[in-house]
Amino acid sequence: MCKSYDDAGLSRRHLMLGAGAALAAGAMAPRPAFAVDESPQNAISPDEALERLMQGNARYAANEREQRDCQERRTGLVEAQFPIAAILSCSDSRVAPELAFDQGQGDLFVVRLAGNFVSDDGLASLEYAVKFLRVPLLMVLGHTNCGAVAAAVKVVKDRAELPGHLPELIDSIKPAVIAAHGRHPSDLVAAAIEENVKVNVKRMQDDAPILSEALAAKKIATVGGIYDLATGKVSLI
């Protein structure tokens, strides 16, 4: 049976007064919003992080994924997380970063939205991953046959119109489509998918001050990749 507040010698009034005092103290002496582990388990180089991802992708593509004890991992991750990479990927149900790179819980910090472009909110999440989780690698992961990029191509080439908030999403992908279109590729959708990854890697690199400073200090690296829906393989670009 659970103890009541009174059983524990604490009245509700005491608790409320205590909470008020704590809030007042907090207002006078602001504390950092997030705790930072000074010797995190993910303190590896960006190169090593990328190597782990690509080895995992090779296992996934060969259908030889590692066996993991999910309960043991859950228990070990209750108090903290130590992801080795932050990945901006498409929401597409066929592209799941944890599967594609054969990683377990706590290994990847993932931002997903259709078309894998850097939004302001997504950028803030990546900044959090770098600044407070000490993630050493950032990746933009596009994929073949991306419906969001194909839709943006239709809007640019055929002036197709989309309902709801979709035009806003397409607006974010359009610059990559227009840049790819200018090079007259034989496959515009494939070229735009690749350009979209490059544009968004650049956006990460230019983010000041958090990501650009971490890059300059060589604390992180950025990379782009394309996931092939047919083979499961990720090609770095």
Applying CB under 5 A, the span of 20-28, 51-59, 83-91, 159-167 interacting with Zn ion comes to: 83-91
In sign, the C-alpha dihedral spanning 115, 116, 117, 123 is positive
Q: Provide the minimum distance between the beta carbon of 92 and Zn ion in the complex, in angstroms, as a whole number.
A: 4
Nearer residue to Zn ion within complex by CB, 92 or 107? 92
- Residue closer to Zn ion by CB (options 46, 224) is 224
As measured in angstroms, the least distance from the Cβ of 131 to Zn ion is 28
H helices, E strands: number in the chain: 9, 5
Cα 191 from chain centroid?
23
Nearer to Zn ion, 44 or 99 (CB): 99
Q: Least Å distance between CB 104 and Zn ion?
A: 24
Site string for Zn ion, 121-160 (x = CB under 5 A): -------------------------x-x------------
Nearer to Zn ion (CB atom), residue 217 or residue 230:
230
DSSP string covering 65-125, please?
PPP--HHHHHHHTSS----SEEEEE---TT--HHHHTT--TTTEEEEE-TT----HHHHHH
Name which position in 86, 92, 204, 221 contacts Zn ion (CB under 5 A). 92
Contacts for 118 with CB less than 8 Å, ≥ 6 apart: 88, 126, 140, 200, 203, 204, 207
Q: How many residues bind Zn ion (CB under 5 A)?
A: 4
**Choice from 53, 84, 87, 90 touching Zn ion (CB under 5 A):** 90
Select 162 or 210, whichever has its Cβ closest to Zn ion.
162
Nearest-10 Cα torsion for 99, 103, 109, 111: -10
Residues near Zn ion, by CB under 5 A: 90, 92, 146, 148
